[in-house]
Chains A and B, each alone.
Chain A
Amino acid sequence: MSKKTFYMTKKSNFLTLIMIVLSTYFIVPLFWVVAASTKNTNDIFSTFGLWFAKSWHLWSNLKAVFTSDNGIYKLWLMNSLIYSISGAVGAALLCTLAGYGFAKYQFTGSKAIFRTVLAAVMIPSAALSIPTFIIFSKLGLVNTRWSVILPSLISPLGVYLMKVYSDTSIPNNMIEAARIDGATEFKIFRTISLRMLMPGFITVLLLSIVGIWNNFFLPLIMLSSTSLQPLTVGLSIWYGRIAGGGSGRDANFQAVVITSAAVSLIPLIIAFLFLQRYWENGLSLGAVKE
């Protein structure tokens, strides 16, 4: 960070002001949902959005979030964790192995395969959801946890990032040296390379966790049992219930939905705050590498 000190002379109030205005746009909606989660349904519409109402309903709202529909919210939270963690660990492992393989070995067809994988970065996941649904339904995989986890395991972008990371972070002569010492290729990977690839691994892991945690379309069409659904699909159902589409008798449910939305933000925001540096390190790979 020595370059910073060189020209970090005077702070600019003007620039800070611009950034305050800009960040307001990003913070206000989050502050709104936090404030709204402390209100009852009526106050949400009649009190100022960015401040708290006179009557405090946070605890009763939270209680309702965790007890409505026999406490299914806990199950949704658990499902989201299961899908994100299992899917992301699997994806990160597969990407690390493949990225390392592409970077450090040349085998028949390796170039063509890598090109195909790269081209697949362009394929929109949504274009695959419907055919995958039909195939999975024929295989009896629809409405199982596998129907969400399996498609999450494939991350062409992750393979690309891990190849670049392997190229830059593991010197070839280190591998050569290990070979001369008689280590097998897999042992070299396990004992030497994997440790050096760890920061890249964590970046791909994080990217996948966010992607799976936020995914809506795939679990929406794959899962029909509410007990298998992740938070995103569950919340969309609760949100839809405010409306009632055809029999809107649940208007008092709004405070619960808003509070459940606010609670859903907590796990990922914590993960972000603690793992910040991995984002920057990892994302810089794809961006700077020439």
Chain B
Amino acid sequence: MTSKKKRGVVVAVVSTLVASTAILGISSQQAQAAATNAAVAKALNTPTTLTFWSWLPGQQNEVNLFMATYPKIKVKLVNVGSGGTEYNKIKAGLAAKSGLPDVAQVEFQYLPTFKVLGGLANIKPYVASDFLSKFPQWISDQVSDSKGIYAVPQDSGPMGLLYRSDVFTKLGLAAPKTWAEFATDAAKIHSADANQYISNMVMDSGNMNGLYWQAGARPFHMNSATSINIKLNDSATKSVSKFWGDLVAAGNLPVDPYWTSDWNAAFNKGKYLSWPAASWGLGTVTSAAADTSGNWRAAPLPTWSSTPVSGSWGGSTVAVMSTSKNLAAAAALAEFVNTNPTAAFALTQAPTFDFPVMKSVLTSAGFLETAPAFYGGQKVYKSYSAYNNTVGKNYEWSPFQDQVYTLWTNDVLDAILKKGDVSAAVDKWQADTVKYAKDQGYTVTTK
């Protein structure tokens, strides 16, 4: 996304951002505060070219800001594909010890995988001493351990419900507060018009994982570096899986695969009236459903009990690859694009729409007061900030999360789509995951 036309926009965006942060009282001096460390200062004063893999729309804005601040450093930002495509390239690169970038975007759930593979550099020596305290603890915990810091948090994915308020109102419905209401509304909406559904089936493993998280599932815990506790088949996971399976079996949900052209078009055509989406979904729907602008709103995720709880889906970090020959400069880049106040704020605006993880941005008025016309002027970030405060804590990822997700698709999703025994499928998911973990040499407990 760095066409020349876009670049023009980018320059304009960056300059207004610089102006707006000045208004917010953030001095540009702080931009260089990161370079407290002598080694980093020296590195940033040495002509260097860094390669940075990211699929984040608009990431070039923050990179440009970095290059403007440190003119000796040239950054090549490359989009090698999103999610799994990029991870497979990193894994192939780690196996070959070649072809890796200095810095790469990595989602939270894959940090343990790359840590085990030895792909992440410890950037503790290079970042500001108060680095971890800039983020909420549940975020900083995910990028660090007692020995070091392995990535810079970029954004997070607290979940809410995006919905078409115009159609809901027309049908005399409000946004469902509980999942029970969601199920009742699902039947009403589909019987009112055979071509519309309350939502699509949650076909994406990460999306469903966020809903398991919301319901209280905590499937993984590392007992030690070589021992892992796996408990995917707890009652929360089973009841959430069954809930969605029942909706599909009743014919009240379509089962369109996510992320296809068809799926994008379905938002625009009004086939799905809601989506339990992460904060970055605000951007997804905005670009997919241009014809329905002004009709979407955000609401809290429906709950299982009266207590408001949310889950999280996705959210990224920027990590320095252990193979980088310019660790100090690479760490400075990763830190800058996410924690420099101007850059961190820019991430929350068009075209990126990231949900921030820096406390200072989370509480800044410029962020909270954003009211996109697409969402009818609702201050959607303020809404998502409220959901963010309710995200269930103490969630741990496995060091082979992509395998866990693939097995979920093969076992649980497959059973739901075939209208089979969902509970048995969750048990199979557990068994297959345990088998894989053992095969990789882990000692497995299943408490």
Q: How far is the CB of B267 from chain A (nearest CB, A)?
A: 9
Rounded to whole angstroms, the CA-CA distance of A83 and B268 in the bound complex is 41
Decide if B287 touches A237 in the complex (CB within 8 Å): no
Provide the residues of chain A in CB contact with B1, threshold 8 Å: 68-69, 250
Q: How far is the CB of B262 from chain A (nearest CB, A)?
A: 8
Rounded to whole angstroms, the CA-CA distance of A225 and B52 in the bound complex is 11
Provide the residues of chain A in CB contact with B258, threshold 8 Å: 243, 248
Q: Which of B37-86 contact A (CB under 8 A)?
A: 55-57, 78-85
Rounded to whole angstroms, the CA-CA distance of A252 and B6 in the bound complex is 13
Rounded to whole angstroms, the CA-CA distance of A227 and B51 in the bound complex is 12
Q: How far is the CB of B318 from chain A (nearest CB, A)?
A: 14
Does B23 count as interface, using CB distance less than 8 angstroms? no
Q: Which of A6-58 contact B (CB under 8 A)?
A: 42, 44-45
Does B93 count as interface, using CB distance less than 8 angstroms? yes
Does B314 count as interface, using CB distance less than 8 angstroms? yes
Which of B2, B81, B99, B353 interacts with A249 by CB under 8 Å?
Answer: B353
Decide if B107 touches A246 in the complex (CB within 8 Å): yes
Which of B92, B93, B259, B265 interacts with A243 by CB under 8 Å?
Answer: B259
Which of A45, A237, A252 interacts with B85 by CB under 8 Å?
Answer: A237
Provide the residues of chain A in CB contact with B90, threshold 8 Å: 224
Decide if A247 touches B284 in the complex (CB within 8 Å): yes
Given A64-B3, A133-B96, A143-B93, is A240 in contact with B81 using a C-beta cutoff of 8 Å? yes
Does B431 count as interface, using CB distance less than 8 angstroms? no
Provide the residues of chain A in CB contact with B290, threshold 8 Å: 42
Nearest A-chain residue to B107, judged by Cβ: A246
Which of B57, B80, B206 interacts with A224 by CB under 8 Å?
Answer: B80
Q: Which of A87-146 contact B (CB under 8 A)?
A: 133-134, 136-137, 140, 142-143
Q: How far is the CB of A60 from chain B (nearest CB, A)?
A: 10
Provide the residues of chain B in CB contact with A140, threshold 8 Å: 98
Decide if A69 touches B2 in the complex (CB within 8 Å): yes
Provide the residues of chain A in CB contact with B97, threshold 8 Å: 137
Decide if B57 touches A245 in the complex (CB within 8 Å): no
Does A251 count as interface, using CB distance less than 8 angstroms? yes
Q: How far is the CB of A10 from chain B (nearest CB, A)?
A: 48
**Chain B 242-270 per-residue mask, 1 if CB under 8 angstroms from chain A, else 0:** 00000000000000001111001100110
Nearest B-chain residue to A237, judged by Cβ: B81
Decide if B280 touches A223 in the complex (CB within 8 Å): no
Decide if A248 touches B98 in the complex (CB within 8 Å): no
Q: How far is the CB of A191 from chain B (nearest CB, A)?
A: 45
Q: How far is the CB of B275 from chain A (nearest CB, A)?
A: 11
Rounded to whole angstroms, the CA-CA distance of A82 and B58 in the bound complex is 32
Does B147 count as interface, using CB distance less than 8 angstroms? no
Rounded to whole angstroms, the CA-CA distance of A241 and B353 in the bound complex is 17
Does B288 count as interface, using CB distance less than 8 angstroms? yes
Of B79, B258, B290, which is in contact with the most chain A CB atoms at under 10 Å from its CB? B79
Q: How many residues of B contact A (CB 8 A)?
A: 47
Q: Which of A228-243 contact B (CB under 8 A)?
A: 237, 240-243
Which of A142, A246, A251 interacts with B314 by CB under 8 Å?
Answer: A246
Decide if B99 touches A223 in the complex (CB within 8 Å): yes
Does A184 count as interface, using CB distance less than 8 angstroms? no
- Interface size bucket, A side? 35 or more
Rounded to whole angstroms, the CA-CA distance of A72 and B82 in the bound complex is 17
Given A69-B79, A224-B80, A246-B83, is A142 in contact with B259 using a C-beta cutoff of 8 Å? no
Given A137-B97, A143-B99, A221-B92, is A245 in contact with B82 using a C-beta cutoff of 8 Å? yes
Decide if A254 touches B82 in the complex (CB within 8 Å): no
Provide the residues of chain A in CB contact with B206, threshold 8 Å: 246
**Chain B 343-356 per-residue mask, 1 if CB under 8 angstroms from chain A, else 0:** 00000000101000
Does B294 count as interface, using CB distance less than 8 angstroms? no
Decide if B264 touches A247 in the complex (CB within 8 Å): no
Q: How far is the CB of B274 from chain A (nearest CB, A)?
A: 16
Decide if A251 touches B288 in the complex (CB within 8 Å): yes
Rounded to whole angstroms, the CA-CA distance of A45 and B291 in the bound complex is 13
Given A67-B3, A68-B1, A70-B2, is A249 in contact with B96 using a C-beta cutoff of 8 Å? no
Does A244 count as interface, using CB distance less than 8 angstroms? yes
Provide the residues of chain A in CB contact with B353, threshold 8 Å: 249
Decide if A244 touches B259 in the complex (CB within 8 Å): yes
Provide the residues of chain A in CB contact with B78, threshold 8 Å: 69, 225-227
Provide the residues of chain B in CB contact with A134, threshold 8 Å: 95
Which of B55, B98, B316 interacts with A142 by CB under 8 Å?
Answer: B98
Given A243-B260, A247-B55, A249-B284, is A224 in contact with B2 using a C-beta cutoff of 8 Å? no
Provide the residues of chain B in CB contact with A244, threshold 8 Å: 55, 82-83, 259, 284
Provide the residues of chain B in CB contact with A251, threshold 8 Å: 264, 284, 287-288
Decide if B95 touches A42 in the complex (CB within 8 Å): no
Decide if A133 touches B287 in the complex (CB within 8 Å): no
Rounded to whole angstroms, the CA-CA distance of A250 and B89 in the bound complex is 21
Decide if B3 touches A133 in the complex (CB within 8 Å): no
Which of A45, A67, A142, A225 interacts with B4 by CB under 8 Å?
Answer: A67
- Contact residues of B with A, CB < 8 Å? 1-5, 55-57, 78-85, 89-90, 92-93, 95-100, 107, 206, 258-261, 264-265, 268-269, 280, 283-284, 287-288, 290-291, 314, 316, 351, 353
Known pairs A224-B80, A249-B353. 7 more at Cβ < 8 A?
A: A67-B4, A136-B96, A224-B98, A237-B85, A245-B81, A247-B283, A247-B316
- Contact residues of A with B, CB < 8 Å? 42, 44-45, 64, 67-70, 133-134, 136-137, 140, 142-143, 221, 223-227, 237, 240-252, 254
Kindly list the 5 A-B residue pairs having the minimum CB-CB distance in the complex, ordered from nearest. Answer: A243-B259, A143-B99, A137-B96, A224-B99, A245-B83
